[in-house]
């Protein structure tokens, strides 16, 4: 976690550990989409044929139905809808492969040295980054006001066409629904490989901060980490981790050491 005005590192733990980032990937998906300066009101069909990772993944969104590119971005960021993210890549100039290439080119241009993308949803464990790199991405996101607006939307009813139907969506970050938090941008993520992840630009005390948590256990763990750090900043009070969380971190650390040992051998 860093102070966005001073660049002071407020708290850090293994910031250069390379890890899968799950749906935090979708923040880059949205940035690459906006960089292309495509019409936001264009109606586009939901298409997932390019994304092999989507096979067998459930979604309420019907393949072939249409929504605007802006609504695709909304669902990608706010509710982490995989079919929306895959569709944004499909409808990119040059197609899906060009989109993935653009994601990696953007990461390189930003100086995200330990970041790599192979697909736009985050379902693949080969989409990897570090906490330090993701802070760079959070800083870059300030240049895209629409990302903050869409990602921090509480809930939305979206109307699809061909066929016509409506679906209600809610933000995947519980803190967005809490009036005590002022969140400028957020993205959650989860896969078994990545654990639970959360990145935010938010306010803690009088500070505007970039907050990154990767690979935590339990749906509420990133929220708990955010609340603990905010309490510490605002009051100086340290709230201890649960024994379960400590054990999970120890286990993940041992697994990482084992992987490194296997690689060296």
**Which whole-number Å values give the CA distances from 166 to 64, 79, 84, 85, 173, in the listed order?**
14, 15, 15, 19, 22
Using CA atoms, how far apart are residues 202 and 2, in angstroms rounded to an integer?
Answer: 11
187 is in an annotated binding site: yes
Q: What SS3 class is residue 24? A: helix
Residues annotated as catalytic are 23, 26, 80
3-state helix, strand, coil in the chain (%, to 5): 40, 20, 35
CA torsion through residues 209, 215, 219, 221, sign: negative
d(C-alpha 39, C-alpha 32), whole Å = 14
Three-state secondary structure call for residue 8: coil
Q: Which residues are annotated as a binding site for substrate?
A: 187
Q: Which residues are annotated as a binding site?
A: 187
């Amino acid at each position: 976690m860093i102070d966005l005005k001073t660049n002071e590192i407020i708290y850090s733990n293994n910031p250069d550990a390379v890890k899968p980032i799950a749906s935090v990937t979708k923040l880059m998906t949205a940035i690459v989409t906006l960089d292309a300066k495509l019409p936001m009101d264009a109606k586009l069909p939901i298409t997932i044929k390019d994304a092999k990772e989507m096979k067998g993944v459930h979604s309420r969104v019907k393949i072939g139905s249409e929504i605007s590119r802006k609504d695709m971005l909304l669902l990608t960021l706010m509710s982490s809808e995989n079919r929306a993210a895959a569709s944004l890549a499909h409808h990119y100039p040059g197609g899906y492969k060009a989109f993935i290439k653009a994601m990696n080119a953007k990461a390189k241009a930003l100086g995200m040295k330990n970041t790599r993308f192979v697909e736009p949803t985050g379902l693949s464990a080969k989409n990897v980054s570090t906490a330090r790199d993701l802070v760079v991405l959070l800083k870059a996101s300030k240049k895209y006001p629409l990302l903050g607006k869409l990602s921090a939307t509480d809930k939305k009813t979206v109307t699809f066409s061909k066929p016509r139907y409506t679906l209600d969506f809610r933000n995947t970050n519980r803190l967005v629904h809490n009036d005590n938090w002022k969140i400028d941008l957020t993205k959650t993520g989860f896969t078994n490989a990545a654990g639970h992840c959360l990145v935010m630009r938010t306010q803690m005390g009088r500070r505007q901060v970039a907050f990154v948590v990767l690979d935590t256990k339990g749906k509420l763990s990133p929220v708990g980490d955010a609340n603990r750090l905010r309490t510490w900043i605002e009051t100086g009070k340290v709230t201890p981790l649960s024994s379960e969380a400590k054990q999970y971190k120890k286990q993940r650390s041992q697994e990482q050491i084992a992987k490194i040992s296997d690689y060296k051998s």
